Amino acid sequence: MTEENWWEVSIPVREEEAEEAANALAKLTGRGVAIVPASSFSTVVAYLPATTPAEKLLRFWAEGERWAAGKIEVRRLQEKDWLTWWRREYHPFRVGKRLVIKPTWAAYEPGPGEVVIELDPGLAFGCGTHPTTRICLRLLEKWLRPGMKVYDVGTGSGILAIAAALLGADWIWAIDEDEVALRVARENVARNGVADRVQVLRGNLLEGKEEKADLIVANLTAELILQLLPQAAKLLLPGGLLIAGGIPVERKGEVLSSSPLVLVEELAEEGWVGLVLSAR
Ligand SMILES: C[S@@+](CC[C@H](N)C(=O)[O-])C[C@H]1O[C@@H](n2cnc3c(N)ncnc32)[C@H](O)[C@@H]1O
């Protein structure tokens, strides 16, 4: 998004509807939207190029109003505002026992055994601060073994694929359907020096994939995880693992009852659950 200006639209939504609202709005923007959790409600933040045709803006606005639980805020944003915001709000932080997420512009001296992921999330989802990303990172740190072949489905900024590579995976296919995410993921993969082991690919979930994997990590939505389950069951090697994130706690039962895979571990945080499921 070089010199282009953007509309930043912030829509307060009920916490339990945030995921559905974000999905509906992301469909209209054609790119990822962020969910910013707050105490009693969440805010869905979407970005639309200032050149968006009025008709498309109106459709987006109508959808936003359908979900809004409060006043919708709109502001014009330039790339430099975006960068300033990130630089002010985003500092190195630790996830799990060894992983540290470090924004590209911050200095950080790693402690013994620490694995540092350097990120510039741009407009793609996945700066590591969202609970669903943190859950997946912690589960990856626990279950990933050196030498594994991994799919990261819905890679966003590439954060989980990069974590897998830095934790020792042999090969990672990082898949996303969003062009902005693919570009940002490629940049982050190169920045972390793992481009020789991470292939960033455009794709719809695991559609058309044939290579088997030891581990699949997918931080998506309950809906998409339900679609992914049969694909994952086909592509996992015996004993292989699916780490499924982005599932609201109240939808865990629905996912588990549809799963051809066996539950090994679950990890919940702030109303979200990550499931580790094993292929028999
Ligand atoms: C919640 S973000 C996760 C980003 C990152 N993996 C993380 O954990 O922070 C979900 C990502 O999935 C992508 N996505 C949504 N539907 C998809 C689909 N059907 N196939 C592939 N990617 C998809 C979105 O573009 C977005 O980048």
pLDDT at residue 121, rounded to an integer: 61
- For residue 32, which atom of ligand 1 is closest to its CA? 25
Task: Tell me which residue has tokens 């330039």.
Answer: 78
Domains, in order of start, for the chain = 6-85 (3.30.70.260), 90-278 (3.40.50.150)
Average pLDDT, the chain: 89
Atom index in ligand 1 nearest the CA of residue 127 equals 9
Residue 97, pLDDT above cutoff 60: yes
pLDDT at 3: 45
Ligand 1 centroid from CA 154, angstroms: 3
pLDDT given for residue 88 in this prediction: 66
- Between CA 264 and CA 268, with CA 267 as vertex, the angle to 5 degrees is 145
Average pLDDT over residues 92-96: 91
- Point out which residues pair with 268 in neighbouring strands: 273
What percent of the chain is modeled with pLDDT above 90? 57
Binding-site entries: 133, 154, 176, 219
| pLDDT tens digit sequence for 226-258 | 999 999 999 999 999 999 999 999 999 999 999
Whether 167 shows a pLDDT value over 90: the answer reads yes
CB 110 within 8 A of CB 100: yes
- For 6-62, write each residue's pLDDT tens digit: 888 999 998 888 888 988 888 887 777 888 877 678 899 888 888 888 888 888 888
The pLDDT of 65-82, averaged and rounded, is 80
For residue 198 the two structure tokens come to 């991470």
163 lines ligand 1 (CB under 6 A): no
| Residue 111 CA, ligand 1 centroid: distance in Å | 31
pLDDT for res 2: 46
For residue 1, what pLDDT band results from cuts at 50, 70 and 90?
very low
Q: For ligand 1, atom 12, which residue shows the shortest CA distance?
A: 154
Ligand 1 atom closest to Cα of residue 133? 8
**pLDDT-wise least confident of 26-35, 151-160, 192-201:** 26-35
Residue 122 confidence (pLDDT) above 70: no
Q: Does position 84 have pLDDT exceeding 90, yes or no?
A: no
pLDDT of residue 179: 85
In this predicted structure, what is the pLDDT of residue 236?
98
Q: What string of H, E and C letters represents the secondary structure of the chain?
A: CCCCCEEEEEEEEEHHHHHHHHHHHHHHHCCCCEEEECCCEEEEEEEEECCCCHHHHHHHHHHHHHHECCCCEEEEECHHHHHHHHHHHCCCEEECCCEEEEECCCCCCCCCCCEEEEECCCCCCCCCCCHHHHHHHHHHHHHCCCCCEEEEECCCCCHHHHHHHHCCCCEEEEEECCHHHHHHHHHHHHHCCCCCCEEEEECCCCCCCCCCEEEEEEECCHHHHHHHHHHHHHHEEEEEEEEEEEEEHHHHHHHHHHCCCEEEEEEEECCEEEEEEECC
